[in-house]
Amino acid sequence: MSDNCLFCKIINGTIPADIVYQDDTVLAFKDINPQAPVHILVIPKRHIATLDDLTEADRADIGHLMERLAHVARAAGVAEKGYRTIINTRAHGGQEVFHIHAHILGGKPIGPMVAR
Ligand code: AMP
Ligand code: ZN
């Protein structure tokens, strides 16, 4: 846990969230400012700031997270038509919350992947 981390506060229940899935190591909840009909964030329960901070010790948790992300997308009903998964890293990647998270965006065509 990291004291001033918004997503750690969601994990420990200090800040409410619309949780759609959780287990021992992963939490998935709806994005508060959805950019598509389905917009879910999938995070590890252990605080890891960015993708660049991953180490070998995180392999099992992140592998599990990706498999659970696919499960969450299926449960949200977007798997058959498809969805986009995004992980933003640091300033140029547009990362605003420094607790690693994967976005699931779906429920409509998300369009071409363009850097703006
Ligand atoms: P990123 O720009 O990749 O760091 O994404 C951060 C995401 O967190 C944004 O899409 C925000 O809308 C979302 N977000 C911020 N605060 C909350 C919150 N309290 N509950 C759910 N999602 C949030
Ligand atoms: Zn955190």
Residue-wise pLDDT for 72-107, tens only, equals: 999 999 999 999 999 999 999 999 999 999 999 999
Please say if the pLDDT value at position 10 is more than 70: yes
pLDDT at 3: 80
Q: Is 101 a catalytic residue?
A: yes
Q: Is the pLDDT at 113 greater than 90, yes or no?
A: no
**Is pLDDT above 80 for 21?**
yes
Average pLDDT score over the chain: 96
The residues placing their C-beta within 5 Å of ligand 2, an ion, are 2, 5, 7-8, 47, 99
* Predicted local confidence at residue 16, as pLDDT: 98
Q: CB of 19 closer than 6 A to ligand 1? A: no
Cα distance between residue 78 and residue 81, in whole Å:
6
pLDDT of residue 114: 76
pTM above 0.85, yes or no: yes
The structure tokens 């918004």 sit at 6
- The alpha carbon of 90 is separated from its chain's Cα centroid by a whole number of angstroms, namely 15
Q: What band does 64 get if pLDDT is binned at 50, 70 and 90?
A: very high
pLDDT at site 116:
63
Q: 65 — phi, psi (to 5°)?
A: -60, -45
What is the rounded average pLDDT of the residues 24-52?
A: 98
Q: Which fold has domain 6-106?
A: HIT family, subunit A (3.30.428)
Q: Using CA positions, which residue lies closest to atom 18 of ligand 1?
A: 32
3-state helix, strand, coil in the chain (%, to 5): 30, 20, 50
Residue ranges per structural domain of the chain: 6-106
